Amino acid sequence: MTRSLAISLLFLLGAVPATAQSDDFEPPRLANGNPNLNGIWQAIGSAHYDVERHMARPSMMLREGPHGPLPAVPVLGLGAVGAVPGGMGIVEGGKIPYKPEAATKREEYRAHWMERDPEVRCYLPGVPRATYMPFPFQIIQNEGAVFIAYEFAGAVRDIYMKDVGPAETDSWMGQSVGRWEGNTLVVEVTGFNDQTWFDRSGTHHSNQLRVVERYTLTSPNHIQYEAEIRDPEVFTRPWKISLPLYRRMEKDARLMDFKCVEFVEELLFGEYRRRPLER
């Protein structure tokens, strides 16, 4: 019995999240004392499919019939590759507080995601989606500046470390203004257009979106990432996501080239061919 209790205790200790074990962690610092976030990082999980908790499921899409859309059916021909893996979700509280009309729009988007998801067409992923896509990103930081480069679509963010006023125009990645609160980098992102999604499940927003991100180094190789989402046109209240980010540890870790425009030219412009290809 004593041995069984000891083994059970070891399993319980092993199940404690890494962030809970890092309360006394002292982060590496730059010359000015700010935590050093430099490195190549990546999320692990299925949030890029669906930020809410979800079971594994086939990818679905609506068929177009002679009298309008027919019921959703699995995407044929892709097998397991086209399926959505299950996930515990990254939304605190479990559910996104959509307004009723926005929830209806999300279901429509979810049914047509293969045609409408901006990721499919290689548009910039937006914030916070760029953080938890299945691609690495690199934080480049010195005493006075923070820059983030993403592998997907060559997206980048220059984080201003002083307030530069309202964004001059709406954009895919928004305008980022950062500050330090103790050991946490806090980034307020505004000035979005309404074109990006949070995932492949139609989770959408308006151009009133405001995101407040928090990056906290919890070990030499882990960042705890949090983001508060505000959009009064779409959501009934603010809501949060949280997840760990992991340092890429390969000796030659780097961002590879994934400027995906060349892969989607037919999807974007094929209808303008003099002789369109057969589908």
Report domain extents, the chain.
34-251+259-269
What pLDDT was estimated at residue 20? 47
Reported confidence tier of residue 105, pLDDT bands at 50, 70, 90: very high
Three-class HEC string of 215-240: EEEEECCEEEEEEEEECCCCECCCEE
- Average pLDDT score over the chain: 88
Mean pLDDT of 271-278: 77
What pLDDT was estimated at residue 11? 45
Kindly list the distances between the CA atom of residue 133 and the CA atoms of 52, 119, 138, 223, in Å, as whole numbers in the listed order.
15, 10, 13, 16
Which tens digits make up the pLDDT trace of 144-166? 999 999 999 999 999 999 999 99
Which tens digits make up the pLDDT trace of 242-269? 999 999 999 999 999 999 999 998 888 8
| Cα 232 to Cα 144: distance, rounded to the nearest angstrom | 33
Q: With a cut of 80, say whether residue 276 has pLDDT above it.
A: no
What pLDDT was estimated at residue 77? 58
Cβ neighbours for 172, distance < 8 A, ≥ 6 positions apart: 123, 124, 125, 126, 155, 192, 193, 195, 196
What pLDDT was estimated at residue 60? 66
Q: With a cut of 90, say whether residue 238 has pLDDT above it.
A: yes
Stretch among 57-66, 97-106, 229-238, 259-268 having the lowest mean pLDDT: 57-66
Reported confidence tier of residue 69, pLDDT bands at 50, 70, 90: low
Q: With a cut of 60, say whether residue 236 has pLDDT above it.
A: yes
Which tens digits make up the pLDDT trace of 4-18? 555 454 444 444 444
More confident call, 74 vs 235:
235
Identify the DSSP state of 23.
Answer: T
Reported confidence tier of residue 190, pLDDT bands at 50, 70, 90: very high
What pLDDT was estimated at residue 15? 46
Mean pLDDT of 209-220: 98
What pLDDT was estimated at residue 269? 86
